[in-house]
Structure 1
Amino acid sequence: SLYLQKWYGCLVVCVHIVMVSRPVHDGLNLSILSSSFLSLSGHGVVKFLDPVDKVQVRLGERAQLYCSFRSLGPTASCWIHDQEKVRKGSHPLNSNHNILTISEVLPVDTGRYSLFVRNHRGTFQHTIMLSIRDRPERPASCPFVSQLTPSSLVLSWCGPSYDGGSPVMDYVVEMQNLDQSESGDWNELTSQCKDTTYRVTSGLHPQGEYRFRVRACNAIGVSEPSEESDCISMETAGEPQEEETPPYVDFIIDTTHKVKDHYNIHEKLGVGKFGQVFRLTHKETSRVCAGKFYRAPGSKEKEAARGEIELMKQLHHPKLVQCLGAYISRSEIAMIMEYVAGGELFERIVAENFEHTEPTSVQYMRQILEGVQYMHHKSIIHLDLKPENIVCVNSTGTLIKIIDFGLARKLEPGKPLRVMQGTPEFVAPEVINYEPVALPTDMWSIGVICYILLSGESPFQGSTDAETLALITAASWEFDTEFDDITDEAKDFICKLLKKEKGARMSCEQALSHPWMLSSSLSHRGTKNLNKDKMKRFLARQRWKKTGKAVLALKRMTNLSHRSDGADSPSNTELGTEACQAVRSLEQQLRSEPSFPQTPHDLTEPCGANVHMACVIEGYPEPEVVWLLNDEPLEETERVQIEYKEDGLCILTLSCIQLEDSGIYECHASNYLGEALCSARLTVHR
């Protein structure tokens, strides 16, 4: 009978077997013929060999993305950049690697490069992230001067929106003396500022006028200078005063004016998914504020912006940043907030001259709990509590405020609330599992913040977002060695917050009544400074992640954790039109007429022996195969067996051969593109 077998919709990288040069006798293990094929784990699966996940190069350097793989049968492959652009690599048909070379890397070349490999079993992919190591971009804002006294001042600024692919380690602060004859010269005040604030205490004259600018430094180099500050006249300085909480404002949303009608807009303070934040000064009162300008192109975004403004109108507490007004028009949605100049709490803590002890940590945690307690009394949950949303009121004190209520929601009785957004390391298990959230959801995040505050380590940090989320859902964590010098009360405080079941977590009231909170003023408490090295590394990692980007949706993050060896073809919604067409065309590239890379040998065997004739067949679509003896189709019987393996190996087995089995054996393979023939002579003797 004819032995026919077809493979549909498939494609593979071919590994040729080495045929045995001598006759195949009875009892020989046929796995020798195809050992290199069968060593693959799984038939037809493309196996990526020692895959690289990340490649870093300097701007303008040559980048080479190399991906080798192993498979069975013919293959075709292509590179897709950021799910859209097709990039041409070097991949001869049926080769076992593909190399994409970019001669001079530009910023537009960064991103995800996915190699799609098609074989007879389907489409497989592996992704490499290409990033550029370069000098940082210049700081996003000019230095803003605060706490001006006759002999000192404090500078604050916003870091670069992109760190150059290497964490920002220091800032260079420069000053220009406008009273000197050579006023164009800039003098370096420091090159080792670790924070985005700096107190200038020397070189200032009571009647002097100055400008300031800053540069960012990473391992590659120093950025261009920021924009220059306004001219600062020391004669306008007054005595330092304590920061006062602004009076609470019950405002009406302005729908007839724009922000610039009432405020001067200065440097940019931050950028996020929502839009941008700028420093503002009121045109009449000169009061300094912050303006949050929403990017709201669609109705859904507009509704979210209005929702945050309405929610902020309800929050009046000294530990929560205050909303002072809002403007809504067809072309602009903006919220006016009090300006908080002290910078992020964790950035302040790692400063060389700043004390960081367990008792000071208690002070910070108490303030966070007081602010969250006020929100919870109003049935409002923050849903994005994390270190960067805890900021200092000024650059010298220990007062803090909670900011960024873009994800905050009001709970309504009888209406379960489910969300799928947040920041991976700080979200609670119920968020990841898409279960109803509640007030204890914030308490989990507070527990994570406290853990990091005391140790500098993140309790759930994995090597990928997917691994981090898996650790959170399992509530898998432990105290590392940094907690050896931390009190048992502090550990108990954290343990009672990081409970998998939200109902088992402490409330704000219970947390504020915890022995750790109440014992902070006792004289026997230790005041040992906590190690800041790990917190510095934590902040460097957070800067790397942010690089100017806002909160990511958890759905999107879990989609990014794709498998290197996955056989799942990308859907039309995941790839752009051009990329989809390129991946689909891989199947066309595979098409080839049949051929025989390996053919059977002539054999001379005695009567009664068992004989195996083997060949390797290639071609796509998979050829139809017919064996013939002396031009007649060979029928399968108890003595005649034909086996066609998935790797293209075709074996004809003749048991207990007789004289009449002598003759020419032909293997004929054909598909719609063509046909091929190979043959061997069998001679049987007595």
Structure 2
Amino acid sequence: MKTGFRMDKDVKKPKTHVSTFRFALNPQTRPLCVGRKEKEYGLDTTKMMVNNKLGVSPTTDARQTQVHALTSPHFKQPLQDCTVFEGSDATFRGVIAGSRPLGVSWLHNGEKVSSKNTSFKNGVAVLDLIRCSRENAGTYTCTAENTYGKQSSSAVLHITGKATKEVPRTQRQQRDEKDKVSTDIREINPRTKVSTSEGPPVEFLDPPEQVEARVGKQARLHCDFRSSSVPVACCWIYNRDKVVVGGQRVSVRSSKTQSSVEISQACADDTGSYTVIVRNRKGSAQHTVSLSVVDRPDPPASPPVVSKLSTQSLVLSWTGPSYDGGTAVLGYIVEVRQEGPDKPGSWTEVSSRCKNTSYHVRSGLKPQGQYLFRVRAYNSAGVSEPSQESDCVKMATAKEKKEEPKSYITVTVDTKNKVKDHYSVHEKLGVGKFGQVFRLCHIETGAVCAGKFYRARTSKEKMAAHKEIELMNFLHHPKLVQCLAAYDTRSEMVMVMEYIAGGELFERIVDDNFEHTEPTSARYMQQILEGMQYVHKQKIVHLDLKPENIVCVDTTGTQIKIIDFGLASKLEDGKPLMVMHGTPEFVAPEVINYEPVSLETDMWSIGVICYILLSGESPFQGDGDAETLALVTAARYEFDQESFEDISDQAKDFISSLLKKDRRCRLSCTEALAHPWMVSFTPLTRRPTKSLRKEKMKHFLAKRKWKKTGKAVLALQRMANLSNRPDSPGSSSEEPVWSQEAEEAIQSLDQQLQSEPCFQQALKDTTLPKGATAQLRCLVNGYPKPKVKWLQNEKPVSQSSRVTVEQREDGLCSLVLSDLKPSDAGVYVCRASNKMGQAMSSAKLKVET
């Protein structure tokens, strides 16, 4: 159309709906700013414009009367100042009366406001500001204009910080607060809105992650939170299983801003995770606090065992306590007592700073002297009782001759005798998926060994045990633990191995008295590679290389051995081997993807070990097993600048050459031993070295301890269950699994919030002139959200072009009637109802003619 105006798409008959056109006339008529709703007011605006322009007198019909009543705009309810938190929403509202058509515009600090944030409907002008920032602060002006004049109203928006600062309140709001309704009144103010709809229903404020308490003392778990609405309901769940309720020792307290659990006389059984669930009518949030009730540790589980005996020195080894007291064991105190023909001496300390489960006694011992030893463990809570005493030790009369290398033994499984026929069984050394390990002592020679007692109840378990024993007969090398004997009877199956007293390599490294440099790390890696080179030559793949399986031969030297071939397999040509086991941080991508493994699978694990050895950090460690596996399958890692600032580029290249996603691109053991990094640290090479920091290594070991090493070898099938799909390990939602009791408690929170409707602000009687706009407003609370119905003189009110009904989330209910007529007068009732009950509020509306 080329007539100077266009027709709206929803108009089918322009002749009968002239007011639905959008005009683009000359500047003299533009201030009219005609909209779609003019017909609602009974005005033929086209006719008005033409008649006024030509000077034609109005006709005498009903529309004439309304033309004579035309007035300039005025604000019946002006804008009001507004204060909101940064990031919250704000709304300015103004109720405008005056002759239609009305044009409305908005300014912010003198600049025009985008129309997408504004609306003008039934005499109510609205400006919505979403997620306010500091830039939104300032003065907002709403200007209403028609042919008879214009009027403006201004208000100021204040933005406060995101912290827990309180929103400033007016004196009236402070008075209302005393009546316990200020919060609701402030929320339902039609001209000022502080909305949290964009934020979380409940937000925890710096909640604690871990709480530690001493045995017998009070333990207090406390969480502050900010709720977007009241009331709130809270409950605490212990270990996702039991609901925490008040009792003799336990008290639970909650308010609208905090919830806490206090346990008097805490005991070890109180240790665990405590999850607080906070719910309001808009949603819920939860936070978990780990409680550790700490006590001094149990005594070391075994008496100290003597090795490396000489005239004036010896090496003691023992097993750590079966219970660490709920917090990490910090070290051990070694004590000695001299025996003799006279009365025995008193117990004295040999060392109070021993960090490992072995100690080299170098002084204070006399040739041919007789001594007893015992050990105490200590943590942050105190010192344990002493361990059992060692056997009486008599020092040598002359220096022991250096032991000649022992010949290797090819083991034949003994099916006639039991292990106890040849060995005495002592304390437990460890527990694993396979079974248990005990210290053994040969009855005839007194040699100390380790016995691996298999849990071989089924034929499948027995086959796995026989497989490991058979593989050990192929693994005769100084860098590999040796099998000395094996027993298979109806009641038990045992493999006897050499006893290695030096402890885990990584535990040794963090000792304050132990040197840790890049060259020493290279020498350790060289020994690992030499051992694995021999293993791979036998076409055997270890499949569980990790720090726990690299141990030191003794407490003084730097020689290491590789242990635990329980998951190892022999590769056969033409028979691809796929496995479903491994440790998430060290397993190779092909294992996770259930692809054939090869000798290069071990090389990936060696690369991870080297990365940790040099930096103290795990390259693929995620927040959970699912994230860790996702990082491994993507081969995604980086050399942290801080952790590797003292590490050479050759070392980083060595690691990168092993951590290749494509196993065919990884170095073999032979190639790795020839790598420039290995060659650069030969004994003939001399160059300055710098000690590496041990803090991160200590932190890494602390995390490993929490994971309970015995459970670290996981089935890949279980790993896959952490994901939504077996082929996408990174997609786990990790939703908490609650017990039935916990589920019922959580569901009951919603029931606690339920209430019948209640009017906190009632309707008010109103008298208005004919043609004005009436707004009936009330505030109703209740949960579930009440359904609202409006009545006029006991008859339902229907929405129309003049009548608008609105119910906001905050409970504000409004009925707006524009262009009032005498028939609009009467008694209006707002009826709110939910499943809990119903309530009503009424008011009288008078229309003056």
Same fold, TM exceeding 0.5? Answer: yes
Give the 5 Å matches for 1:24-103: 26-27=123-124, 29=126, 33=188, 38-41=195-198, 45-67=201-223, 68=225, 70-71=227-228, 76-88=233-245, 95=256, 97-103=258-264
Report the equivalent of 1:12.
none
Q: Does 1:210 align with 2:371?
A: yes
Distance in 2 between the 1:125 and 1:303 partners? 47
Task: Give the counterpart letter for 1:635 in structure 2.
Answer: S
Give the 5 Å matches for 1:132-531: 132-179=293-340, 181-183=342-344, 185-235=346-396, 239-242=400-403, 244-245=405-406, 247-252=408-413, 254=415, 258-294=418-454, 308-309=468-469, 311-312=471-472, 314-328=474-488, 332-410=492-570, 413=574, 415=576, 417-419=578-580, 421-424=582-585, 426-431=586-591, 437-461=597-621, 471-472=631-632, 473=634, 475-481=636-642, 483-521=644-682, 523-526=684-687, 528=689, 530-531=691-692
CA contact (8 A) 1:123 1:569 kept: no
* Structure 2 CA distance for partners of 1:136 and 1:250, relative to 1, 3 Å: same
CA contact (8 A) 1:172 1:189 kept: yes
Q: Once structures 1 and 2 are overlaid, which stretch shifts more, 53-62 or 415-424?
A: 415-424
* Structure 2 CA distance for partners of 1:656 and 1:501, relative to 1, 3 Å: farther
CA contact (8 A) 1:640 1:655 kept: yes
Q: Give the RMSD, CA atoms, in angstroms.
A: 4.1
CA contact (8 A) 2:227 2:280 kept: no
CA contact (8 A) 2:299 2:384 kept: yes
Q: Once structures 1 and 2 are overlaid, which stretch shifts more, 532-541 or 389-398?
A: 532-541
Distance in 1 between the 2:766 and 2:458 partners? 77
CA contact (8 A) 1:197 1:342 kept: yes
Tell me by how many angstroms 1:152 deviates.
1.1
Q: Once structures 1 and 2 are overlaid, which stretch shifts more, 303-312 or 126-135?
A: 303-312
Distance in 1 between the 2:488 and 2:527 partners? 32
Tell me by how many angstroms 1:54 deviates.
2.1
* Structure 2 CA distance for partners of 1:459 and 1:52, relative to 1, 3 Å: same
Report the equivalent of 1:575.
738
Tell me by how many angstroms 1:402 deviates.
0.8
Report the equivalent of 1:595.
758
* Structure 2 CA distance for partners of 1:365 and 1:214, relative to 1, 3 Å: same
* Structure 2 CA distance for partners of 1:244 and 1:593, relative to 1, 3 Å: farther
Corresponding residue SS for 2:383:
coil
Q: Does 1:611 align with 2:778?
A: no
Give aligned pairs, total. 659
Tell me by how many angstroms 1:633 deviates.
1.8
* Structure 2 CA distance for partners of 1:373 and 1:122, relative to 1, 3 Å: farther
Corresponding residue SS for 1:337:
strand
Q: CA deviation digits over 1:237-267, x for unaligned, max 9?
A: 860534745623332264x654434321112
Q: CA deviation digits over 1:466-489, x for unaligned, max 9?
A: 665565445221153464554443
* Structure 2 CA distance for partners of 1:366 and 1:669, relative to 1, 3 Å: same
Distance in 1 between the 2:459 and 2:842 partners? 72
Task: Give the counterpart letter for 2:682 in structure 1.
Answer: S
CA contact (8 A) 1:77 1:91 kept: no
788, 793, 800: which is aligned to 1:625? 788
* Structure 2 CA distance for partners of 1:61 and 1:504, relative to 1, 3 Å: farther
Report the equivalent of 1:6.
none
Q: Once structures 1 and 2 are overlaid, which stretch shifts more, 474-483 or 503-512?
A: 474-483
Q: Once structures 1 and 2 are overlaid, which stretch shifts more, 538-547 or 342-351?
A: 538-547
Tell me by how many angstroms 1:362 deviates.
2.7
* Structure 2 CA distance for partners of 1:672 and 1:173, relative to 1, 3 Å: same
- Larger RCO (alpha carbons 8 Å, 6+ apart): 1
* Structure 2 CA distance for partners of 1:614 and 1:236, relative to 1, 3 Å: farther
* Structure 2 CA distance for partners of 1:91 and 1:530, relative to 1, 3 Å: closer
Task: Give the counterpart letter for 1:320 in structure 2.
Answer: L
Task: Give the counterpart letter for 1:230 in structure 2.
Answer: D
Task: Give the counterpart letter for 2:260 in structure 1.
Answer: I
Distance in 2 between the 1:597 and 1:182 partners? 88
* Structure 2 CA distance for partners of 1:456 and 1:653, relative to 1, 3 Å: same
Task: Give the counterpart letter for 1:217 in structure 2.
Answer: Y
Tell me by how many angstroms 1:64 deviates.
2.3
TM-score calculated relative to the size of structure 1 = 0.83
Tell me by how many angstroms 1:172 deviates.
1.2
Unaligned runs of 5+ in 1: 1-19, 563-567
Distance in 1 between the 2:321 and 2:197 partners? 48
Task: Give the counterpart letter for 2:604 in structure 1.
Answer: W
Q: Once structures 1 and 2 are overlaid, which stretch shifts more, 632-641 or 343-352?
A: 343-352
CA contact (8 A) 2:94 2:125 kept: no
Tell me by how many angstroms 1:391 deviates.
0.8
CA contact (8 A) 1:91 1:97 kept: no
Distance in 1 between the 2:202 and 2:460 partners? 42
Report the equivalent of 2:818.
655
Report the equivalent of 1:16.
none
Tell me by how many angstroms 1:496 deviates.
0.9
CA contact (8 A) 1:161 1:547 kept: no
CA contact (8 A) 2:551 2:560 kept: yes
Report the equivalent of 2:839.
676
Distance in 2 between the 1:186 and 1:93 partners? 53
Distance in 2 between the 1:317 and 1:189 partners? 36
Distance in 1 between the 2:847 and 2:509 partners? 90
CA contact (8 A) 1:429 1:475 kept: no
* Structure 2 CA distance for partners of 1:406 and 1:176, relative to 1, 3 Å: same
CA contact (8 A) 2:830 2:842 kept: yes
Tell me by how many angstroms 1:594 deviates.
3.3
* Structure 2 CA distance for partners of 1:577 and 1:294, relative to 1, 3 Å: farther
Tell me by how many angstroms 1:298 deviates.
7.8
265, 268, 278: which is aligned to 1:104? 265
Tell me by how many angstroms 1:374 deviates.
3.1
Tell me by how many angstroms 1:154 deviates.
0.6
Corresponding residue SS for 1:678:
strand
Distance in 2 between the 1:543 and 1:211 partners? 34
CA contact (8 A) 2:233 2:753 kept: yes
Tell me by how many angstroms 1:76 deviates.
4.2
Task: Give the counterpart letter for 1:348 in structure 2.
Answer: R
* Structure 2 CA distance for partners of 1:483 and 1:569, relative to 1, 3 Å: closer
Could you say which structure has the larger radius of gyration? 2
Corresponding residue SS for 1:496:
helix
CA contact (8 A) 2:357 2:503 kept: yes
Distance in 2 between the 1:420 and 1:657 partners? 79
* Structure 2 CA distance for partners of 1:663 and 1:456, relative to 1, 3 Å: same
* Structure 2 CA distance for partners of 1:131 and 1:398, relative to 1, 3 Å: same
CA contact (8 A) 1:167 1:218 kept: yes
